[in-house]
Structure 1
Amino acid sequence: MQRTKLSNAECPIARSLDEVGEWWSMLLMRDALQGLRRFDEFSQSLGIAPNMLTRRLTALVEAGMLERVPYSQRPLRYEYVPTAKGEDFATVLMAFVDWGNRHYATEGESVQVVERQSGKRLQLTFTDPDDGRTVAPAHCTVQPGPAASAAMRARLERIRTR
């Protein structure tokens, strides 16, 4: 069955899922952002079939999340290094850690988001760009942006007035 392409969807969640929504891709980005770079490192970490690993790495390179950088000429071998776009994905993965810990870590947290230097535990918040004040996700919502279509504006208005 052919998967529906979401790259032209207006919703930023749908567009993002089109690029990195496949679970192997998210786990590969997790590993890349934690410092793994080479095919064999990803393979060992994930236990993923080589053909699937090749497809997922290629897709992440094409999506601009990873860059292929040669590390050996004979034989030619590559490392997969997160791009700036890929580095930005760390925020998404840390949000998954926060959410997963709250809802699926019944046995206790095996991973926590902490400040690198102090080791102090952190929680997910958003920051007001004007005054620096933090706002918890529970106090946030979405609204139509300047480029929103009439259909998107209507959809969000229907949801808001429920």
Structure 2
Amino acid sequence: MAGKIRLEDRECPLSSALGHVGEWWTLLILHDCFDGYTRFDQFQANLQISSSILTSRLKALTESGLLERRRYQTRPDRYEYVLTELGRSLRPVVIALAAWGNSRLDPAQRSMILVDRETGVEADPVIVDRTTGRRLDGDDFVFTAGPAASPTMRARYTRSRAGERTV
């Protein structure tokens, strides 16, 4: 298993992932980490988040293996929160969510955009299949039951292939 995230009692990987990062403060904290923030006071000042919520979210992100807590000062002890490899692997997801949000706005209304660091040219993020390079946002790609799927999950995707709408 890669990282600490596990499916728990959720068979659906989407449900499991949302169980770890679906709370909106979590994604905003991760976004701050991608921007280089590491310290409690930085997160709190930037996000205008209460101490109790921030403490809870940082603890959950650490327990999930998305962040690592490291001491950077003694007397008194002070800690920073650093992205793990598992946490860094969420960057494309955050980029895709931000791009989706921006796509619904007039360009003049966008408060944050993704640009090429060297050229400053705005990027247009898309998700593609690593093997073929084909975009995944069309009808050519569908979900189906995986090797560990339960009978219920297999039935869901058997129905969906038969043309029934699944909810």
Q: Do they fold alike, i.e. is TM over 0.5? A: yes
Corresponding residue of 2:109: 108
**Structure 1 gaps, min length 5:** 1-5
Please tell me the residue identity of whatever aligns with 2:67: L
Give secondary structure in 2 for the equivalent of 1:134: coil
Corresponding residue of 1:83: 84
Sort the Cα spacing of 1:119 and 1:156 in 2 relative to 1 into closer, same or farther, 3 A: farther
Corresponding residue of 1:39: 40
**Structure 2 gaps, min length 5:** 1-6
Backbone CA RMSD of aligned residues: 1.8
Give secondary structure in 2 for the equivalent of 1:56: helix
Give secondary structure in 2 for the equivalent of 1:75: coil
Corresponding residue of 1:3: none
2:137 paired with 1:137? yes
TM-score (norm 1): 0.86
Corresponding residue of 1:59: 60
TM-score (norm 2): 0.83
Corresponding residue of 1:28: 29
Percent identity, aligned pairs only, is 39
Tell me if structure 2 keeps the 8 A contact 1:65–1:83. Answer: yes
Corresponding residue of 1:127: 129
**How far 1:109 moved relative to its partner?**
2.6
Equivalenced residues, count: 154
- Counterpart CA distance in 1 for 2:119 and 2:129 is 21
Please tell me the residue identity of whatever aligns with 1:135: R
Corresponding residue of 1:92: 93
- Counterpart CA distance in 1 for 2:96 and 2:142 is 16
* Deviation string, structure 1 residues 117-145 (Cα, Å, up to 9, x no partner): 4444132121242xx42324224321222
**How far 1:110 moved relative to its partner?**
2.5
